[in-house]
């Protein structure tokens, strides 16, 4: 019986793909190994959003070169976005790799491994027929026993100048409404109580499905399964997103206590989504809202589809509808052509927005993207580093203030397990996705439990809590 090990780089979508890869390999009778050093098959599920992800992958895969030579029966598989976009570079820089499989073909890994016994450098980076990959409907094996990712769409129809995702993930394709709800029900039956809905642009979910129904109903026998019962019952058949309908449906699945989602696009965010978040008991008071820049000129160059003031108006609308909402964001520093005044506009808008936290990134040029070709506009690295540190001060100031404001509150904590640094401390998340440490609590025994805790102290990136006991069933303690 062969063993396997899967190493994941990148986003939650890759994490979810890796869970499905695990399910495929287990279905072939293979068993998980503890590390890449002992596995018969090592799978690297790669990311190509930023250059440092590429470099980390090549560093790790090349550490296996000597072992691959010593053990001819061992196999190395490279999957994911880097595999889809730069297949030739993989074999050039790491010729000991056996299989390269793109984002649309990960369901074929078992067949490709079988072919690798007879062929050298087996590859499948086909882009499919524009429909959803049937592998997505394979219920994965969640890495955690109480949380799971659920893919609701693949690909992206946006054309952000800095982003490689449309090239490596393809156009936006939504899964049938009923298939998603069915998967969540199956996960709940397995004991999963928190799900995170995944997509490159989740709040446009379903627009392609309703467009399909508007064009023709030939061969589509179950409109409710495809687009949901609310869409069918309204009788209008207009082209529209279905994300707010989906939030309500998933929130209503018995056994699901928390629903999260990532990532939405600000240009497509609608008031109906905020209303669904507020009205669906299981949907958490947590919103990731990627700003990217506070300069209108830079936003236009990025092709983001909104201005800074419009972003702020939507953020304020969300906070007015959803009580106690925590908001995080993404910001790129040093986008080609960014001036000092434009960066100052970003600092000003970020300060106004008062985010709970921010993922800040130094611009990374990606081959094949529009902005990657603007080499004459690249910002000096020293200037970028200075701006990055200044932005960090602003984001950490607002984040620390948001954390201090939670001291004294009673929060419902979902325990994820022991702290990575101290086995005598349990770690978990609030509904606002705040990390909370509970000293003297057995995190391993209580993994997956919902407990009440009073917040007694606040750090820059986490909170300290004092255990009070379990909340009443179905209650969401936060006061």
pLDDT per residue as tens digits for the range 93-142? 999 999 999 888 888 899 999 999 999 899 988 776 555 555 555 556 66
Do residues 315 and 346 share a domain?
Answer: yes
Do residues 273 and 292 share a domain?
Answer: no
pLDDT at 421 over 50: yes
**Domain termination site, one of 251, 283, 315:** 283
Contact by Cβ (8 Å): 44, 76: yes
Number of domains the chain is built from:
4
| pLDDT for position 170 | 86
pLDDT at 474 over 50: no
pLDDT per residue as tens digits for the range 463-472? 999 999 665 4
- Report yes or no on 35 lying in a domain: yes
1 vs 357: which has the higher pLDDT: 357
Do residues 149 and 233 share a domain?
Answer: yes
| pLDDT for position 62 | 93
| pLDDT for position 130 | 57
Mean pLDDT value across the chain? 91
Task: Name the helix (H) or strand (E) containing 439.
Answer: strand 435-439
Do residues 275 and 298 share a domain?
Answer: no
pTM of the model: 0.90
Q: Which two tokens stand for residue 149?
A: 């990712």
Do residues 324 and 335 share a domain?
Answer: yes
Cite the annotated binding site by residue number: 11, 47, 81, 156, 160, 163
pLDDT band at 367 (very low <50, low <70, confident <90, very high): confident
Cite the annotated binding site for [4Fe-4S] cluster by residue number: 11, 47, 81, 156, 160, 163
Structural domain boundaries, residue 209: 142-283
Q: Are strands 41-46 and 435-439 parallel, antiparallel or unpaired?
A: unpaired
| pLDDT for position 14 | 87
| pLDDT for position 287 | 98
Tell me which range, 9-23, 216-230, 368-382, is most confidently predicted by mean pLDDT.
368-382
Cis amide prior to 272 (ω within 30 degrees): no
Task: Name the helix (H) or strand (E) containing 43.
Answer: strand 41-46
**In the β-sheet with 286-288, what is the strand arrangement from edge to edge?**
286-288, 326-333, 357-362
462: domain CATH number is: 2.40.50.140
Backbone Cα Rg of the chain = 23
21: domain CATH number is: 3.40.50.12160
pLDDT per residue as tens digits for the range 2-57? 999 999 998 888 888 898 899 889 989 999 999 999 999 999 999 887 777 788 88
């Amino acid at each position: 019986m062969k063993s396997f090990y899967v190493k994941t780089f990148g986003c939650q979508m890759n994490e979810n793909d890796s869970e499905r890869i695990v399910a495929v390999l287990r279905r072939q009778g293979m068993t998980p190994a503890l590390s890449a050093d002992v596995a018969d098959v090592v799978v690297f599920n790669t990311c190509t959003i930023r250059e440092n992800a590429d470099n980390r992958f090549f560093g790790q895969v090349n550490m296996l070169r000597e072992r691959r030579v010593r053990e001819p029966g061992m196999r190395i598989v490279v999957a994911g976005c880097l595999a889809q976009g730069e297949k030739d570079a993989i074999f050039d820089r790491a010729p000991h790799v056996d299989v390269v499989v793109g984002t649309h073909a990960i369901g074929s890994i078992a067949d490709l491994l079988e072919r690798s016994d007879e062929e050298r450098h087996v590859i499948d980076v086909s882009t499919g027929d524009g429909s959803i990959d049937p592998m997505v409907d394979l219920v994965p094996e969640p890495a955690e026993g109480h949380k799971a990712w659920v893919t609701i769409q693949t690909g992206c129809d946006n054309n952000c100048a800095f982003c490689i995702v449309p090239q490596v993930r393809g156009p936006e394709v939504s899964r049938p409404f009923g298939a998603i709800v069915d998967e969540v029900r199956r996960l709940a039956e397995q004991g999963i109580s928190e799900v995170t809905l995944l997509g490159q642009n989740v709040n446009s979910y379903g627009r392609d499905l309703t467009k399909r129904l508007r064009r023709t109903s030939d061969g589509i026998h179950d409109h409710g399964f495809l687009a949901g019962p609310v869409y069918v019952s309204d009788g209008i058949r207009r082209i529209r997103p279905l994300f707010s309908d989906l939030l309500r449906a998933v929130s209503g699945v018995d056994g699901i206590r928390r629903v999260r989602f990532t990532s939405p696009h600000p240009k497509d965010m609608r008031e109906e989504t905020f209303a669904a978040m507020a009205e669906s008991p299981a949907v958490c008071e947590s919103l990731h809202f990627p700003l990217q820049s506070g300069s209108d000129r830079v936003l236009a160059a990025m092709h983001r589809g909104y201005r800074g003031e419009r972003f702020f108006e939507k953020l304020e609308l969300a906070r007015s509808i959803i009580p106690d909402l925590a908001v995080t964001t993404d910001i790129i520093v040093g986008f080609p052509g960014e001036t000092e005044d434009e960066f100052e506009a970003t600092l000003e808008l970020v300060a106004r927005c008062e985010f709970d936290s921010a993922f800040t990134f130094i611009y990374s040029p990606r081959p094949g993207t529009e902005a990657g070709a603007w080499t004459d506009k690249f910002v000096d690295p020293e200037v970028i580093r200075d701006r990055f540190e200044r932005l960090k001060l602003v984001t950490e100031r607002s984040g620390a203030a948001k954390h201090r404001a939670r001291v004294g509150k009673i929060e419902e904590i979902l325990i994820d397990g022991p702290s990575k640094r101290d086995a005598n401390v349990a770690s978990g998340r609030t509904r606002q996705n705040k990390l909370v440490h509970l000293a003297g609590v057995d995190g391993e025994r209580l993994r997956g439990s919902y407990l009440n805790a009073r917040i007694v102290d606040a750090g820059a990136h986490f909170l300290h809590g004092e255990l009070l006991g379990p909340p009443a069933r179905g209650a969401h303690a936060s006061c």
